[in-house]
Amino acid sequence: MNHPKLPGQRSFDLTDRLLIAMDQAARTVLAESHPGRPYPAEDVPDTLDQTAQRKHAAALMRVNHSGEIAAQALYQGQAFVANSPATRESLMEAAQEENDHLAWCAQRVHELGGRLSVLNPIWYAGSFAIGALAGLAGDKTSLGFVAETERQVVEHLDGHMQQLSKDDARTRAIISQMSADEERHGNNALMAGGAELPFFARSLMKLTARVMTRTAYWL
């Protein structure tokens, strides 16, 4: 089904959206991400010396990188089935900004001598399906899903800030910027008409996120 085209917007048919989704999946999982904004830790000295602390920080940033893989997939899944072209455009714009987070996390993981999760393709596939299901429930529910996801992500990032060494100003700078962006994305989704999700849905989202984060810390 084709949707009315709003001023300044391009109308995408099913084939267009399929190609966009496939291209985005390949770029996210297989290619190196290139941020559109400067690296938040660019001018922050790396003063983290202890091996154990660097290993822990690398694992936390691997978790965050996997979370950004999932975020890309969620947005793409929701955009794929969105009823409103305006909602679709909003989701795609948010996904583009999340791409900065993806690149920043990967860079910091490598700086710390770590590696990215070998399960990233699974995180992407599962999250795309979840995003599509949320999108099929309607734009208000889909936007509410974005708001709740971002709220939980901010809590998750706050937890990481508490776990990081106080000497790790470089990682803290990255997480601080990510948290500010995520909070703004959630607020934007609510302002766009996002509906609050039922308790069961919020609890299930937390459980799913916990499984992913605990697994990605090691794998």
Domain ranges in the chain?
Answer: 57-218
**What's residue 169's pLDDT?**
95
Question: Which top CATH class is 57-218?
Answer: mainly alpha
Round to whole Å and give the CA distance between 124 and 74.
8
**What's residue 87's pLDDT?**
81
- Over the stretch 160-186, which tens digit does the pLDDT of each residue have? 999 999 999 999 999 999 999 999 999
SS3 content of the chain, % helix, strand, coil (to 5): 75, 0, 25
Sign of the C-alpha dihedral computed for residues 139, 21, 70 and 122 taken in this order: positive
**What's residue 95's pLDDT?**
79
Round to whole Å and give the CA distance between 214 and 63.
8
- Over the stretch 35-62, which tens digit does the pLDDT of each residue have? 889 999 999 999 888 899 999 999 999 9
**What's residue 123's pLDDT?**
93
**What's residue 85's pLDDT?**
83
Are residues 72 and 27 in contact, defined by beta-carbon separation less than 8 angstroms? Answer: no
Sign of the C-alpha dihedral computed for residues 188, 158, 60 and 165 taken in this order: positive
Q: Is residue 122 classed as helix, strand or coil in its secondary structure?
A: helix
For the chain, the residue count is: 219
Round to whole Å and give the CA distance between 49 and 218.
21
Can you tell me which residue has the tokens 């070998």?
Answer: 118
Q: Which residues of the chain have pLDDT under 70?
A: 1-12, 31
Round to whole Å and give the CA distance between 152 and 95.
17
Round to whole Å and give the CA distance between 30 and 12.
25
**What's residue 83's pLDDT?**
81
